[in-house]
Chain A
Amino acid sequence: MRRSDLGEFEEIVLLAVAALSPGAYSVVIAEELEKETGQTVSTGAVHAALQRLEQKGYLQSSLGEATQERGGRRKRLFTVTNFGGKILSDARTVRNNLWDRIAPGELSKMGLNVSGL
């Protein structure tokens, strides 16, 4: 499995698309990420990530409806492809496996709060 072509930001964007499906497009994704991370996320960055993910075949897109706030411009809606879903779950499996191998005692020793897990 080639994990290297999924960057961290890309992974988060891909996850966000999956979470916001079926109404996922740049604006809502960026807003969602801002809310989750508490940091400003520019539309351009999200757009670039979406473009890359689509090129890699993890996403597919179609043009949606236009609204007044958009100045009559249509939006591009994204959905996760089967391949994209597989990549996401692969990534999750890798992480879960690693998390599971950490002994609970170790985590509190490191000063991590594990109660939330």
Chain B
Amino acid sequence: MTSLPPRWLDKLATKICAPHLREELLGDLHERYALRYQRSGARKARTFYFREVLALLRPSVMRRKPSSHDKVSLLSPEILSNYFKIGSRVLVKNRAYSLIHITGLAIGLWACMMVATVVIDSLSYDRQWSRADNIYRILGVNNRGNSLLERSASSPAPLAQELMRNYPEVEACSSIETELMHFRLRPKNSEAIEASILTADSTIKQILDFKLVAGSFQIPTGNRWKLLVTRSFASRIFPGQNPIGRTIYQAPNFGSEPSPYEITGLIEDLPYNSQFRTDVIRLKPIKHEQLAGSKYIMFTNNYLLLKPGTDVSKFTSKVNQWYAGVMKNNRDRFEFQPLQDVYLHSDFAEGQKVRASAKTIYIFAGVALLLLFIACVNFINLSIAKAAARVKEAGVRKILSGSRSQLVIQLLTETMLLFGISICIASLSYIFSLHSVENFLGHKLAMTFSSNLPMAVAALLIAFLTAILTGLYPALVVSGSKPGHMLQGKFNASLGRNRLRKTLVVAQFSISVIVLVATIVVRQQLDLMKNKELGYDKNNLMGIEQISWNGKGEAFKSELQRIPGVVRSSLTMWMPAEGAGNMQREVKNPADANRRLRVWYIAGDVDLPATLGLKLVKGRMFSDRFADALNADSLQKEGFEKFENAQKNQNSLMTATAAKMLGIKELDIPSEGAHSVPVGVVGDFHNESFYEPMKPTLILAQKSPEYAGMLIRIQPGTEMQVGTAIGKLWKQFFPEKLLRISNIEDKLTKQYEAESKLHQLFMFFSGLTMFLSALGIFGLVVQAAEQRSKEVGIRKVLGASVSGIVALLSRDFVKLVLIAIAIASPLAWFSLEKWLNHYPYRTTVSWWIFVATGAATLAVTIFTVSFQAIRAALADPVTSLRNE
């Protein structure tokens, strides 16, 4: 007996070879193998055989003999309608299954569409400008020693002009700033219209393409600003009228006179998916300043238009070399951020209003994909489980000479029908929920499936593809077995593919557990940041936003003091939730000579520490009895040097952290690090959000600062009446100015909007994943109970108890869920620890979270499973045993 060629090659050859040629050809191959084997041994024979099999790949060998029967195309209209008829009947017959399928798929598809919209929308920002690829923002990078880099979106204002002069690569440059302003149609009007305004150099026309509808671009002359208004804003303020040539007035923050703005041009609305979306544009003349040698340098957001094909990394290093040479400064460097990255990758840009965090988008997308995965797993699992019931049908079809492809198409049609219905439901919910999602995101979505036809078509195609991929596996499983086995019911045994189903269930529940743990931890972190002691009393605190007081600040304050409910008030140049301070200095770090220490200053009048509710640790608070307050405004007018010198001898309060970091042990002596004379130490307080570590902070007192905000401490529950009283008082004092008043606690809470949104998102998704997983396991239990109904009947006849049978049916699933918990917990712990490490003040992921999550998941499982298991256990054994 000669040995035979490898089996797999044999199988392959059988597949390749047309059936009517198999006898002679495979015989030939085997005979030659035997000959080779005798002549040159097994190894050579095998190699040769392999080549022989490959050589079979030719049309004459592969072409199947056409069938002698009349062939009806598998896709002819009659057959197609038959597929649909049978398919819909099957779906209606198994209503419960269809419902589970449709619910799961609709949710999964809806979530995916929504998230795809958000992702596509955020990727579409600022791509529509004709020169978008060549526009860059200059980022300032400050090296604070020991590779501690601090990025910022602003750079010295004259820098862009200098670069333009020095480098031919720069085609155009402009500073671009957006802010909110209030306009009045007449100077004395009481109501004002809020508008976002973009201020830029006149060169901006070369960088961004605005479409001028009427009028012209004009540069301001004297102190009259010229405005370009967008169509939608124009129709809001002057409905149905020509806005060009009209004048509107800005409600003053500085000074007392409203400044006039003449409208000189009308432009098309700017695209919404741009960080430059704005209502009006004002151009300012280019200032020709020198970078080197000027004492005060203004910072601004600078944008450059580079020539196409410029190597940006080379350009960056050239610029930095030049800058280091000119400024004798090694600590400041610059980077050039492509315009397309500005929206998603600007975590460092504090002032930028239109931005999104790439990280949040990734989390969002990831969770939604997982959701779709769970939905598809449900589909596959249930379909395979249901397949057992379909095999008999498949067997009969096969015996009646139905081909395999016909069966596959039939099963795929059913999948398509299910997907089709789900897609319809998902699309409808998509259209209806779009608005709430926009509310949740806090901005409109410029690119949606309902507004963009190509996107909708692409989405449909992808859904179609998903449907085929998901439906193919169950279809192949069902159609693949032999008709004889199918009819004997041997198929159940071959469902040893159980391992796949089990793996899928475990994966599903692992995801649910991870999402659930994440929900709890995000919640904890949010609570921690919202409720952690700030070191000052944030409750019952109101704030008036910064404004110039026209010398009436003190008078307003003393009038305010008389309003019942007002406890204390203070003019301040710093407000909570507005950065770490109003001024900063870099000083030598006494602990580490290589590093520079940044010290923050908060300036207000003498009442500021008391109004905030700071606690004194050592020394004394500010008081009117001492000369604590500096007349900073007038000193600054007299000169920079004089002001600095005065500050050196000014009394200050410092936080405990500042005292420690600056190494100041004795009070009442001038300190170089503090650049003032500390007279007291107050308890640490968080002047910034909990995203930031505690910073060394000093408090200075100033005599009625001209440009300042106001903090007002009120008695609990008097907010409403104090608010109206302040409004009245304001009208008397500053009829021309707008009162912008807010509750400090609300403002502080708003800082954690990102976490709050993340938490809401996780709440929503954890509910959905858990629901879908439970749905999937429910389907499987129904299936198991059906398949084992005879077993259950016999057990009952033999005296098994109901609880015993429930346990029997539930055991497998509970085991799977336990495995899922065991797998998911460390994964969740690891990833959440990583996430929390970004926070200087972070919650701990404690063990009880996992216990609680595990218990909740188990409870859901047991509830779902026992629901059906009890029904199966209570069923009359006669019904299940009688049917044969």
Contacts and interface: CB of A to CB of B under 8 A. Distances in A.
Interface of A: 25-27, 30-31, 40, 42-45, 47-48, 51-52, 63, 66-71, 73-76
Contacts of B56: 44
A50 to B, nearest CB: 10
A67 B31 contact: yes
B60 A26 contact: no
10 contacts: A30-B32, A31-B35, A43-B29, A44-B57, A47-B60, A47-B61, A69-B2, A69-B30, A71-B30, A73-B27
A51 B61 CA distance: 10
B52 A69 contact: no
Contacts of B60: 47-48, 51-52
Given A40-B48, A42-B55, A44-B58, A31 B25 contact: no
B50 to A, nearest CB: 11
Nearest to B25: A47
A27 B61 contact: no
Contacts of A48: 58, 60-61
A47 B28 contact: yes
B61 A75 contact: no
Given A27-B35, A30-B32, A73 B52 contact: no
A43 B52 contact: yes
Nearest to B51: A42
B24 A74 contact: yes
Nearest to B29: A43
Given A26-B25, A42-B51, A73-B23, 11 more contacts: A25-B28, A26-B24, A27-B32, A31-B35, A40-B48, A43-B25, A44-B57, A48-B58, A52-B60, A66-B27, A69-B34
Interface of B: 1-2, 4, 21, 23-32, 34-35, 48, 51-52, 55-58, 60-61
Nearest to A45: B55
Contact of A73 (B4, B26, B48): B26
A30 B30 CA distance: 13
Instruction: Identify the 6 closest CB pairs spanning chains A and B, nearest first.
Output: A73-B27, A42-B55, A70-B27, A44-B55, A69-B34, A76-B24
B32 A44 contact: no
Given A27-B35, A69-B2, A74 B27 contact: yes
Contacts of B2: 69
Of listed B4, B24, B26, B51, residue having the most chain A CB within 10 A: B24
A93 B132 CA distance: 77
Contacts of A44: 25, 52, 55-58, 61
A27 B58 contact: no
Chain A interface helix/strand/loop/mixed: mixed
B28 A43 contact: yes
A75 B24 contact: yes
Contacts of A47: 21, 24-25, 28, 60-61
A63 B21 CA distance: 12
Of listed B25, B32, B48, B57, residue having the most chain A CB within 10 A: B32
Nearest to A77: B24
Given A40-B48, A48-B60, A73 B55 contact: no
Contacts of A66: 27
Nearest to B22: A73
Nearest to B53: A44
A83 to B, nearest CB: 21
B801 to A, nearest CB: 58
Of listed B4, B27, B29, B61, residue having the most chain A CB within 10 A: B27
Contacts of A45: 55, 58
Contacts of A70: 27-28, 30-31
Contacts of A69: 2, 30-31, 34-35
A40 B52 CA distance: 10
Contacts of B21: 47
A27 B31 CA distance: 7
B52 A26 contact: no
Contacts of B57: 44
A48 B18 CA distance: 13
A73 B30 contact: yes
A27 B28 contact: yes
B23 A74 contact: yes
B677 to A, nearest CB: 99
A9 to B, nearest CB: 13
B231 to A, nearest CB: 72
B7 to A, nearest CB: 12
A44 B56 CA distance: 5
Nearest to A64: B24
Contacts of B26: 71, 73
Contacts of B32: 27, 30-31, 43
Contacts of A73: 23-24, 26-27, 30
A17 to B, nearest CB: 15
Nearest to B23: A73
A63 B20 CA distance: 13
A71 B55 contact: no
Contacts of B31: 27, 67, 69-70, 75
B337 to A, nearest CB: 61
Contacts of A74: 23-24, 27
Contacts of B24: 25-26, 47, 63, 73-76
A61 to B, nearest CB: 9
A52 B1 CA distance: 35
Nearest to A73: B27
Given A40-B48, A47-B61, A48-B60, A71 B27 contact: yes
A66 B55 CA distance: 23
A26 B21 CA distance: 13
A26 to B, nearest CB: 5
B11 to A, nearest CB: 14
B44 to A, nearest CB: 11
Contacts of A30: 32
A41 to B, nearest CB: 10
B6 to A, nearest CB: 14
Contacts of A67: 31
A102 to B, nearest CB: 37
A104 B504 CA distance: 82
Contacts of A76: 24
A66 B26 CA distance: 12
Contacts of A52: 60
A30 B55 CA distance: 13
Given A31-B32, A44-B61, A75 B51 contact: no
Contacts of B30: 69-71, 73
A44 B48 CA distance: 12
Contacts of A68: 1
A40 B25 CA distance: 17
